[in-house]
Structure 1
Amino acid sequence: MNRLKTSTTTTLNHSSLPPMQKQSILKRFFKQWDLQMMVIPGLLFIFIFNYIPMYGVLMGFQDYNIFVGMRGSQWIGFEHFHTFFTDPRFWEIMRNTIVISGLKILIIFPAPIILALMLNEVKNMMFKRTIQTITYLPHFLSWVIVAGFGMSMLATDNGSVNILLEKVGFIDEPIRFLGLPEYFWGIIVSVNLWKSIGFASIVYLAAIAGVDQQMYEAAALDGASKFKQIYLITLPSIMPIIIIFFILEIGNLLNAGFEDLLLLGNNPALRSVSDVLDTYVYRVGISNSLYSYATAIGLFKAVISVGLLTLANLIARRTGNSLW
């Protein structure tokens, strides 16, 4: 009787296994060859352009000589890191990087969510599509064009911002916005907001479109206003997407920007507030051919970013939403 039970249990356990687990990996691969052919090019691209170049981080521990290459260059250990950490401008660069990134997270991150919530309540489809087109368009403009627009609008001679402020009586003479450090952080955040808000809202609009409409109908029958429906239904429904994007933003805390800061903050008078890690690497490391020094700073930034990403993911895991 016991043998019969054991045999029956074993048979049930084997039969309960999903068919995909019984097949070998190779069989499953050939069975899904059409799907695998779609994935393999992307994996090869990531491996070739993201993983193979990681060998180059060894330059950060060498006195790299372009003529003899990495194998012939002298190993100097952590000297470049020590040079960077003892640089008189180290804390200024870190302050600019963290403040600009923090302002972008504080202001730019919630802006697409608010825009998506507002567009979701618009019933006139023609008006909604017009607003979407207007807000999406700046994303497809290069930073060179956007920076040109910004410089033209903020110019002291015939700049539209100065003309407007003079007309309404806020100022008596034009202000050199791109020559005074106290205005730079507000300008760079505003320009980034204008460029990215529309395109970033697409993901949140798609998430909102997937919310069950019956919940809104039930809430309306219970007398819930639009604001209550947004607070009690829409936001909780798209919260997993918000948390995932917020984790990624925390991981990019040291990526304050490059093209926007390089173009709009090129004035030496703004260097005390515009110089961040990326622009410092370009100006000091790449322009002066200090490739090992630039690599060391890039490696430092990458290690800190991975740590921040892991920490943010661990905190988000407590809410039940995380990247891994």
Structure 2
Amino acid sequence: MEVKTASRLPGERTKKRKYSMKLLLMALPFLVAVFVFYYVPLFGWVYGFYDYKPGIPLSGSEFVGLKYLRIAFTEQGADLARVLKNSLVLSFLGILVSPAYVAFAILLNEMRGKWFRKWVQVTTTLPNFISWVLVYSVFYVFFAVSDGVVNQVLLKLEWLKQPFNFLGNSDIAWAFQTMVGLWKGLGWGAIIYLAAIAGIDQELYDAAKVDGSGRFRTIWHITVPGIMPTFVVLLLLNVSNMLNNGFEQYYVFYNALVADKLEVIDYYVYRVGLETNDFSYSTVLGMFKTIVSVTVLFSVNWIAKKIRGESII
């Protein structure tokens, strides 16, 4: 038997190499796409070191070194500080409501009606695939000042004496956008926690039933600890991604009344680069965001290694 096993080893190794090569060839198009769309644009960082003007070749532009980086922290320091504040606050509020995804996944898992559970999951996941333009249209119908459904109902109930401007009130802009993001991503964000719940050993639940544990106690002592590692990893990744607020949401909800609260760094880069044609300064802003994000990512990875004993990346 040992001789036969030894004789099959070279053939098994060859099959393993062929299988690995097939997997590599399958992944190759995606690796090329990642390189083209994520790494090739990094060569554009060179524009941040030149006084580039549209229509003039880069070779004919003046090399200015760190001029625009100094401008970002001196002449434009107030604007940059405001934009960073908006980005960090909105990201922090998003992290603050992240337990809602866990709670929603647990509630879905505890639903006994199979068809009703699927209907709720599909209904709540659908907004994730709706464009932000349509999302704004939906919220405009409900929260518009003049003929919005919410204002009309509140006025008829006499809870308001005059219409309230939900979309143009800077005092509630951060909370309102957090609510919008939660509504759009609740069902989609719960999927990974449902997968984590499905991976919990079913024998633990059976043992809890034998011991006489009720539904709430079972959730608290089995389900929550079972998905906590997943929640911690996603939480740490969200913390490291705090400057990546996105662009579409704040672009469609942006207006003059809430401009001071909704101008995050991605929108600021767009406004500086495409609306004012200051490509050099917008490039420096993008570089700054990338460097800070990577620094935070590795810092969080180091913290995770100290706490959990293993790193995320």
Same fold (TM over 0.5): yes
**RMSD of the alignment, in Å?**
2.3
Q: Deviations over 1:171-198 (max 9, x none)?
A: 1111122222112112211111111000
Question: Residues of 1 paired with 2:309 and 2:159: CA distance?
Answer: 50
1:65-214 equivalences under 5 Å are 65-86=53-74, 87=76, 88-107=78-97, 109-214=98-203
1:200-279 equivalences under 5 Å are 200-265=189-254, 267-279=255-267
2:272/2:279 contact within 8 Å kept: no
Question: Residues of 2 paired with 1:73 and 1:129: CA distance?
Answer: 59
Question: Residues of 1 paired with 2:310 and 2:137: CA distance?
Answer: 41
Structure 2, unpaired ranges of 5+ = 1-8
> Which AA in structure 2 matches 1:85?
F
The Cα shift of 1:31 comes to 4.7
| CA distance 1:36–1:90, change in 2 (3 Å) | closer
Match of 1:285 in 2: 273
Q: Could you state the TM-score of these two structures normalised by the residue count of structure 2?
A: 0.90
> Which AA in structure 2 matches 1:105?
I
Question: Residues of 1 paired with 2:229 and 2:25: CA distance?
Answer: 30
Structure 1, unpaired ranges of 5+ = 1-18
1:62/1:74 contact within 8 Å kept: yes
Question: Residues of 1 paired with 2:41 and 2:17: CA distance?
Answer: 28
The Cα shift of 1:227 comes to 2.5
Question: Residues of 2 paired with 1:163 and 1:157: CA distance?
Answer: 8
1:240/1:321 contact within 8 Å kept: no
Pair 1:307-2:295 in alignment: yes
| CA distance 1:287–1:210, change in 2 (3 Å) | same
> For 2:162, what is the secondary structure of its paired residue?
coil
The Cα shift of 1:296 comes to 0.4
> Which AA in structure 2 matches 1:96?
N
Of 300-309 and 221-230, deviating more is: 221-230
Larger radius of gyration: 1
Pair 1:298-2:305 in alignment: no
Of 222-231 and 201-210, deviating more is: 222-231
The Cα shift of 1:201 comes to 0.9
The Cα shift of 1:211 comes to 0.9
> For 1:34, what is the secondary structure of its paired residue?
helix
Question: Residues of 2 paired with 1:284 and 1:65: CA distance?
Answer: 13
1:208/1:234 contact within 8 Å kept: yes
> Which AA in structure 2 matches 1:55?
F
Match of 1:9 in 2: none
Q: Percent identity?
A: 37
Q: Could you state the TM-score of these two structures normalised by the residue count of structure 1?
A: 0.87
1:243/1:321 contact within 8 Å kept: no
The Cα shift of 1:28 comes to 6.1
